[in-house]
Structure 1
Amino acid sequence: MAILPSRPGINITVKCNGASLQEYEDEDEDDQPNVVTKYVEAISGAEFGVQWEIAAPWPAYTVLFDIYIDQKWVTGRFCKQVHFKPPKFIHLEEGALSVVNGQEFLHKFAFAALDVDDAVPMQDKLMKDIKGMGEITVKAYYVKNLQTSPTVTDRALNTKLQEVGKIPEKALKGQTLSHSTS
C-alpha cells in the first residue's frame, strides 16, 4: 500500500483480479515529503483498478483523487467527508467514464505488454512517447468548498492513451518498463 507518512489515513493500492498487486520499493528514488513511489508487477491483458482507503485520522476536508495513466489524466473522484465512517472508507476506481447521448460508458483500465524489437530504429519522438509509459499516478487534494454544478450531458473520454507500436530495445536500457496501460 502506498502510504504517505504525512497522511497515514490515506492508502492507495492497485488491484487486479480482486487482489492487491504485490508492491516493490524503488531503491533509486529520492525521498520526497509528499510522494510515494512503488512498483507493481503487471500482467499482460489484465484489467486493474486503483483503490483508496481513508481511515482515522480522518481528513478534515473532502478529498479529490485524480488518476493519471501514462502521465495523462483519465479520471477524478471526490470523496466527501460524509462518507468517512469507521472503520474506513474504501473506493475502487476501475476505469474512466464517458457520457455519450446520456449513456455512460466505463473504459476499464488494463495492462498492455510492450512490443520490443531490436530491428526498429530509435526516434526522438518515440523516446518522448515512452517517457511516462507504464505509470499509474494518483494525486490527492483537500477540497474546502465543494459545490455542485450543472450536469454535463455529454462527456467523451478525451484522453487518448496512445499505442507506440514496436519499441527498440535500446530505448528501454536501464528502465524497469515492461508494460504500458490502456
Structure 2
Amino acid sequence: MAILEDVPGVTVTVRINGVDCVEYDDPEAPGQQPSQPTTSSKYIESPDDTEFTIHIKVDSRYDWSYKNHSLKVRTFADATYIGGVFCEEKLSVSGIAEREITGKYELCRDTGYWQQRKPKFSAVKTVDDATKDRVEKDKKAFQKLGLIEVKVWRAIVHGPTVQEDSNHQHKASIELAEKSIKGKAISHGTTFSTAKGISKPSFAKSELLLEDNGPIAIFLFRYRSKEALQQELIIPATPPPLPSLDGLSEAEVRRLAAERLTDLNERKFIKEENTTAVKRELNEVQDLTEDDRPTKIQRLPSQVIDLTEE
C-alpha cells in the first residue's frame, strides 16, 4: 500500500480481482525535492493478460479543513489517461472516502451510448526485422511503458458538467522492434479490453488550488513480469525445483538408487578410514605414565664455579 508521510490519510493501491498487488520498494527512487510534489515509487508484478483497477482511499487522518476542498485524482498507464475521480469529505459518512477506477469511459459515436474499456497488462511482443525509423519511433514509445501514474490535486468542485467525446484509438497488442528494447527488463504495457455498454457516468467541473502549484502527491507503480523483477533484482531469483521421480521408468529409478547407495557407501568408507587413522595416531603417542619416566630431580647444594680457572 503506497503511503506518503507528507500527505497523511491518502493511500493508493493497484488491484487484481479486488486484491491489492504486493508492492516492492524502488531501489532507484529519486530523493524528494522541495520544489516537487511528494512522490511514492513502487514495483508490482504484472501477470500477463490480466485486468487491473486502481483503488484510492482517504481516511480521517487527512485534513479537509482548507477552503472546503476536494481531492481530484487522475490516473495514467504508459502516459495514456485511464480515468479520474473526486474524493470529498461530505460524501463520506464513516470518515473514509474510497474510490475505484475500473476503466476508461467512452461515448460511442455510432450508438450515442456510453461504454467502458478496462485496462489490462499485456506482454510486449518484439519483431526482429525493423527499419531504422521504426526502431527510433519504438524507442520513444518504450520510454512510456510499464508505468502507472496516479496524480492527486486539491480542487474546488463547482458542479456537474458535460464530458466531451474521447479518443477511441486503442491497441489490441503492444509490438516493438527488438533493437528498441535490447537489454531492458520492460515486459508489459497496458492495453484495453473490448468496450462494454454502461449507464451514463456523471462528471464535474473543478478548479485547482493555485497556491499548490500542481499536484500535492504522485504515486508511481512500475509493473513488470516476475522474471523481469528478478532481472532487475527487485525480488530474489526462483530456486531450482527439487528433483522428482515422477515419469521415470522402474529401470531408471533402480539406477538412481544404486548410484545413491554407492555414494553413501563411499562416504561411509572414507569416514571409517579417517576414524581408524585418528585412533592409530592416538595409540602411537608415548604414555608418560610408564615407569621409565624421569625420577624427581634432587636439588644439590649451591656452589660458585670460578670460570677463570685453567
User: Does TM, scored on the shorter chain, surpass 0.5?
Assistant: yes
Aligned to 1:48: 52
Question: Are the equivalent residues in 2 in contact too, given 1:48–1:110 (CA < 8 A)?
Answer: yes
Q: Distance in 2 between matches of 1:78 and 1:32?
A: 26
CA distance in 1 between partners of 2:170 and 2:187 (Å): 16
| Greater RCO, CA 8 A, separation 6+ | 1
Q: Paired residue for 1:134? A: 146
Cα RMSD over matched residues?
A: 2.2
1:28-72 Cα deviation digits (max 9, x unpaired): 121225111111100111110000111121342200000011012
Secondary structure of the residue aligned to 1:146 is: strand
Give, in whole Å, the separation in 1 of the partners of 2:161 and 2:22.
Answer: 41
Render the CA deviation track for 1:105-163: whole Å, top value 9, x for unaligned. 1110111011135x3446111100110112110000011x31124434xx443164555
Provide the residue aligned with 2:41 in structure 1.
37
Structure 2 residue aligned with 1:112: 122
Q: Which runs of 5+ in 1 are unaligned?
A: none
Which residues of 2 match residues 27-176 of structure 1 at below 5 A? 27-32=27-32, 34-60=38-64, 61-86=69-94, 88-100=96-108, 101-117=111-127, 119-121=128-130, 123-143=135-155, 145-152=156-163, 155-158=164-167, 160-162=169-171, 163-168=173-178, 171-173=181-183, 175-176=184-185
TM-score, normalising length: structure 2 = 0.52
Asked if structure 2 preserves the Cα contact closer than 8 Å seen for 1:69 and 1:137, the reply is yes
Deviates more, 1:100-109 or 1:123-132: 100-109
Contact 1:74 1:159 in 2 (8 A): no
**Structure 2 residue matching 1:128: 3-state secondary structure:** helix
> Which structure shows the higher strand fraction?
1
Task: Return closer, same or farther for 1:148/1:134 CA change in 2, 3 Å cut-off.
Answer: same
1:177 aligned residue: 186
- Return closer, same or farther for 1:87/1:81 CA change in 2, 3 Å cut-off: closer
Higher Rg of the two aligned structures: 2
Instruction: Tell me the TM-score normalized by structure 1.
Output: 0.86
In structure 2, what is the Cα distance between the partners aligned to 1:24 and 1:157? 34
State percent identity of aligned pairs.
21
CA distance in 2: counterparts of 1:85 and 1:179, whole angstroms: 39
For residue 91 of structure 1, report the CA deviation from its aligned partner: 1.5
Query: 1:114, 1:167 within 8 Å by CA — same for their partners in 2?
Result: no
C-alpha offsets along residues 78-116 of structure 1, whole Å, 9 cap, x if unaligned? 112212343522221110111235522111011101113
Give unmatched runs, 5+ long, in structure 2.
192-310
Distance 1:51 1:108, change over 3 A: same
Decide whether aligned partners of structure 1 residues 159 and 77 sit closer, same or farther in structure 2, where only a CA change above 3 A counts: farther
What is the one-letter code of the residue matched to 1:16? I
Q: 1:125 to 1:93 in 2, by over 3 A?
A: same
The structure with the largest helix share of the pair is 2
